[in-house]
Structure 1
Amino acid sequence: MSTSEIAPAGAGESDRAAFRAGPVDEESRARLAAGGLDYRRVAVADEEFASWLQAVGRGFLDSERSEAQIASIRERSGYRRVTGVYDPEGPMPEVPVSTIASWLGDLAVPGGALIPSCAISAVTVAPTHRRRGIARAMLEGELRAAQAAGIPMAMLTVSESTLYGRYGFAPAAPRAGWRIETKRAGWIGPRPEGRIDFIPRERARELLPVLHDRVRHLTAGEIDVPGSHWDNFAGTTPVAEKAGEKRAVQYTDAAGEVRGAAIYAVRENHDDFTKSTVSVHYLLAENDDAYAALWRFLLELDLVAEVTSYELAVDEPLLWMIADQRAAKVSVVDHQYVRVIDVVAALENRRYGAAGRLVLDVADPLGLATGRYLLEAADDGAGRVRPLEDDEAVDAVTVVLGIAELSATYLGGVSLATLVRAGRVQVAPGGPASTHSEAVAAASRVLGWHTAPRLSIWY
């Protein structure tokens, strides 16, 4: 089957419901119980969910949630599996000392397929309970719960990038932050037919998920966005902060079809009204014309000196649509982390940059994916994977790597050759590759992909 024929798949609602209702991991429960702690799921409909939310807010240095905020979040949290660790001996036993949330989402992978993945969020540990193994127990517990449910991948976005490597996660889809001097940039990109129009934020809330569902499988790293995130982007919840500052526009093509939309806010410069700043909260384009039209509109707004956006890809075409590339200051940071749980299922669902055979010798500190695997990629990009016996010999390039390194390469965001040069991966010749450099090049071609991955939200 060719890449163009791949149909997105993903998880069904019954799978999602079963994962939400699944028990906590018994190994982690017993480990925490030995330390006098209670590890349990929290029902979103129950009163204790309010205390769980307050603990999450405290963990991320937010202020206390109001009753209206709690009600709004509760209404939009039914998709999540919510878990907490409680200390019954503490002065506030009803408030968890550690939190985690997860849900079964769909991750877009190279080639256009969607695979079920355990999305993890709201990870906190109270500073009063650090260094008691709580975070380890909870994260390992979620990974084992995902494995038990047959989920091949886990994923998360992080506030601290050093925390998750020990659990096998690796940065796989970086994000680029842009600051563009509009007067200097100069638009030289396409000027498509069609029109840009202002729309109500409520209309943007309707459009964005529809447009996103049409295109999200085309970019590795994207996920299905929970409805609450669209509410936050559009500012359409009763408790949305600074919702009145947001403006929404849509792009309609020459045939009258809406092909893109953007939400942005303007901050005035009261010392010089010609130097206002536009912050792009979300821009979604179904095709190249919509992309060009929306960005041109934003860069040519009157009284605006700077446009900023912070969840873009590292290979945005926008850089080649402005006359002066130095008008754009681009910073790249880690963003979407992934963690392979089931090597065979994960690797067979993505496509590959070249044909070839690789032996992958994978080490996993948690023991979830340790083993030797034969990957055979065909000319059309499809891959077949099978575990190898310990003494089974295969004449192919051998790649020795940890689960974090395999996860880092999974979306095509980093070349295997880069990880070899960094000392993170070892490669041995085999098959038609008779030298080390040939083996590295061959393995890099197979595991590579032609576009950079991207995730356009935090979660």
Structure 2
Amino acid sequence: MGNDAQQGPDRGIEIRPITHEELADWDRALALGFMRPHVPPAIEWRRLLFEPGRMLGAFDHDFPGADRPRCVATFRSFDTGLTVPGGERLPVDAITGVTVNSTHRRRGLLSGMMRRDLAAARERGSAAAILIAAEHNIYGRFGFGSAAPLAGWRVDVRRSGGVRAGLPVHEGHRIDFATLEEFSKLGPDLHERWRPTQPGAIGRPDAWWRLRVGEVDLPGFDWKQGFNVFHRTADGTLTGMANYTVDDKWDGAYPDCPLTVRDFIALDRETANALWAFLFSVDWVRHVVAPHLGPGHVLPLLLDDPRGAKPHEESADFTWLRLLDLPAAFAARRYEAPGRLVLDVTDREGWTAGRWALEAAADGTGRITRTDDPADLALDVSRLGSLYLGGGSAAGLADAALLTEHTPGAAVRADTLLRTARAPWNPDGF
């Protein structure tokens, strides 16, 4: 084993970064871990994402009949920026591709890979780590908390009456179909202009855009070209875009087509109104399905009859966050109300454990510093992660016995300090 390797909890199992030549073995282990062995290898996609030291594998040196160690667990991370309240981008460690083969469960392989990666992330200067949890009960023990839920709507166009007439739009605006080339050329800049406006948003690397326009094939990813539309103001400024698909479905001789919104970006309310009005005007469409919107999205309020909208069935927790550097994280975000609160934080790894004074000034700036003052609230770092982006409820956590109030009313004060008018939302899987 080299300097980058470590002995796994089981004798004969080694956790280490993989080499470029081991991508096929890593890909096979990932497919087995996600129970998708029927999916063809995704080596081209893995090569696009490969970054030395950031793809980990657990290798079984005692695998029967194998001529070399067999990869039995996978883990990948990459650096990105997470938009926090106020628009700043917090440097975070994004974790994905986490699997353990069913034959090697409960041997500490996930724990070994996770702790290795989080420790390295802290050394690199990441203030937090994020992931999308496939199972709810796994990641809390590593300090992660659900921080940016996913929500959406399924709208019956006839019952809703469509988008209300008279909503404000840009005078002289226009909406046009865009080619795939235009989408991949102009979309990244539009996304970067939008990103600071949405807490919870993350970056879209070049590979993301290449996958969405069909330039690269990812086996198991059901790519469909769909429709791309751009919104421009009268002077030609690009201020929004939407990507959607329409399924060819009929009820006898009557069209019954669902339109599914896959991507929606608007830099302002007027642009959003115009794009929604367009989507609800598409011929043959009976239902508009928008599965990936932020919690509390105003779409039902834009309709003639909001009862025509039902919550999408896939609404759930989505992006989880693990704080690694409290001073850096809390100085980066902004606050909508001034105040002071003392938090007693527990952390199994010890990285953020201790008593901290969170203070927000009237100008929206804030900081968190160590203190010996009596605690107002006691909570695990996973619960603090749920509150950090402004979408959680400390009062709700208190009612559920998931944090402890030492000072009466402290949970409500925490919500006043940390909650934001715009709920955190991350529209992108990773």
Amino acid at match of 2:25: S
CA contact (8 A) 2:214 2:225 kept: no
Q: Residue 262 of structure 1 aligns with which residue?
A: 242
Report the Cα distance in structure 2 between the residues aligned to 1:339 and 1:34, rounded to whole angstroms: 27
Q: Which aligned pairs between 1:23-422 and structure 2 lie closer than 5 A? A: 29-30=6-7, 32=8, 35-43=11-19, 46-63=20-37, 66=40, 69-78=42-51, 81-90=54-63, 91-92=65-66, 93=68, 95-185=70-160, 186-188=162-164, 189-193=167-171, 194-238=173-217, 243-272=223-252, 273-331=254-312, 332-388=315-371, 392-393=372-373, 398-422=376-400
Q: Which runs of 5+ in 1 are unaligned?
A: 1-22, 430-435
Report the Cα distance in structure 2 between the residues aligned to 1:125 and 1:422, rounded to whole angstroms: 32
Cα deviation, residue 282, structure 1:
1.0
Amino acid at match of 2:377: V
Relative to structure 1, the CA distance from residue 258 to residue 38 in structure 2 (aligned partners, 3 Å threshold; closer, same or farther) is: same
Render the CA deviation track for 1:43-92: whole Å, top value 9, x for unaligned. 3xx2211221222122223345646x422441344498211111021145
Relative to structure 1, the CA distance from residue 238 to residue 135 in structure 2 (aligned partners, 3 Å threshold; closer, same or farther) is: closer
Once structures 1 and 2 are overlaid, which stretch shifts more, 299-308 or 117-126?
299-308
Q: Residue 456 of structure 1 aligns with which residue?
A: 427
Amino acid at match of 1:440: A
Once structures 1 and 2 are overlaid, which stretch shifts more, 270-279 or 446-455?
270-279
Relative to structure 1, the CA distance from residue 349 to residue 244 in structure 2 (aligned partners, 3 Å threshold; closer, same or farther) is: closer
SS at match of 1:47: helix
Cα deviation, residue 458, structure 1:
0.8
Amino acid at match of 2:332: N
Render the CA deviation track for 1:87-124: whole Å, top value 9, x for unaligned. 02114545410000001111111111111101000000
Count of matched residue positions in the alignment of Structure 1 and Structure 2: 418
SS at match of 1:451: coil
Cα deviation, residue 234, structure 1:
2.9
Report the Cα distance in structure 2 between the residues aligned to 1:227 and 1:163, rounded to whole angstroms: 30
Task: Indicate the RMSD between aligned Cα atoms, in angstroms.
Answer: 2.1
Cα deviation, residue 196, structure 1:
1.1
Cα deviation, residue 338, structure 1:
0.2
Report the Cα distance in structure 2 between the residues aligned to 1:148 and 1:343, rounded to whole angstroms: 14
SS at match of 1:96: strand
CA contact (8 A) 2:358 2:367 kept: yes
Q: Which runs of 5+ in 2 are unaligned?
A: none
Please, what TM-score do these two structures have when normalized by structure 2? 0.91
SS at match of 2:413: helix
Relative to structure 1, the CA distance from residue 298 to residue 38 in structure 2 (aligned partners, 3 Å threshold; closer, same or farther) is: same
Amino acid at match of 2:60: D
Cα deviation, residue 35, structure 1:
2.2
Amino acid at match of 1:167: F
CA contact (8 A) 2:157 2:285 kept: yes
Cα deviation, residue 148, structure 1:
2.2
Report the Cα distance in structure 1 between the residues aligned to 2:81 and 2:189, rounded to whole angstroms: 16
Q: 2:412 aligns with which of 441, 444, 448?
A: 441
Please, what TM-score do these two structures have when normalized by structure 1? 0.86
Render the CA deviation track for 1:128-150: whole Å, top value 9, x for unaligned. 10111111111122111112222
Q: Between the two proteins, what is the percent identity of the paired residues?
A: 34
Report the Cα distance in structure 2 between the residues aligned to 1:160 and 1:393, rounded to whole angstroms: 37
Report the Cα distance in structure 1 between the residues aligned to 2:250 and 2:378, rounded to whole angstroms: 58
Amino acid at match of 2:59: Y
Report the Cα distance in structure 2 between the residues aligned to 1:172 and 1:80, rounded to whole angstroms: 27
Amino acid at match of 2:186: L
Report the Cα distance in structure 2 between the residues aligned to 1:60 and 1:282, rounded to whole angstroms: 26
